[in-house]
Structure 1
Amino acid sequence: MISSLLGFAFCVVLCLILLALSMIISKGVLSDREKGSSYECGFEPMGPTRVPFSLRFFLVAVIFLVFDLEVVLLFPCVLLSGNVWLLSLMLWLFLFLIGLGLGYEWSEGSLDWKE
């Protein structure tokens, strides 16, 4: 109990030290406004430098990451040995749940690129 409490206290103190150190170091970096502006061959920017990000693209990227993570979770199950029927049932149930999630996203229209 004492060792876990000491470990937790050490982590908290380390986080506070690193946070304070980053705040001290970053004050000099953020003071120069010209360093944060865009550069176009020595001329002033002719238009807005920030381009709006497509929300559709972001949504498709997040859905891809979620389903990609779920597929990666399937790979270790292939290496397990033991009750093959139970493992097969779990894998099919997992794939069914992934299919349900994909069907829901499709029916909701999140995968449609055109509005």
Structure 2
Amino acid sequence: MNNLMLTMSLIIILVMLIMTLINFLSKKCIIDTQKSTPFECGFNPMSLKRMSFSIHFFLIAVIFLIFDIEIIIIIPMIMTLKSTMMYYWLLTSTMFTIVIMAGLAHEWYNGMLNWTT
């Protein structure tokens, strides 16, 4: 029993040493400063820290999230078509579609969908 434990411990230590050696020799250990810097919010972190950025980037992201959540709400509506009363289902889906279209018209009217402005 004791000899088996010693053998297993030596094998585990040997495997750990081999894995550490492979890690040191791999190309992933080479640190590239450009690849290790974060790239977030549409601006380069290597540039000036006080440089202004376009708020339009955030508006497009918010619009995308809103329409993404609307898709999540629409899918269960389709699935519950057979199990609900047709009048209430039609009323709910029509009102929801009107709210979506009014929001889209408001965004379009205010120019939020134009990337160049």
TM-score (norm: length of structure 1): 0.53
Pick from 105, 108, 112: which aligns with 1:103?
A: 105
Equivalent position amino acid for 2:33 in 1: Y
Number of positions where the alignment pairs a residue of Structure 1 with one of Structure 2:
73
- Deviation, structure 1 residue 85: 2.0
Once residues 52 and 33 of structure 2 are traced to their aligned partners in structure 1, the CA distance between those partners, rounded to angstroms, is 19
- Deviation, structure 1 residue 65: 0.7
List gaps (5 residues or longer) in structure 2: 1-31, 35-45
Once residues 84 and 116 of structure 2 are traced to their aligned partners in structure 1, the CA distance between those partners, rounded to angstroms, is 47
List gaps (5 residues or longer) in structure 1: 1-37, 41-46
Once residues 109 and 54 of structure 1 are traced to their aligned partners in structure 2, the CA distance between those partners, rounded to angstroms, is 14
Matched with 2:86 is: 84
- Deviation, structure 1 residue 54: 2.9
Indicate the structure (1 or 2) with the bigger Cα radius of gyration. 2
After superposition, the CA RMSD in angstroms is 2.6
TM-score (norm: length of structure 2): 0.53
Pick from 28, 33, 39: which aligns with 1:39?
A: 33
Matched with 1:55 is: 55
Percent sequence identity is: 35
SS at match of 1:101: helix
Once residues 72 and 63 of structure 1 are traced to their aligned partners in structure 2, the CA distance between those partners, rounded to angstroms, is 14
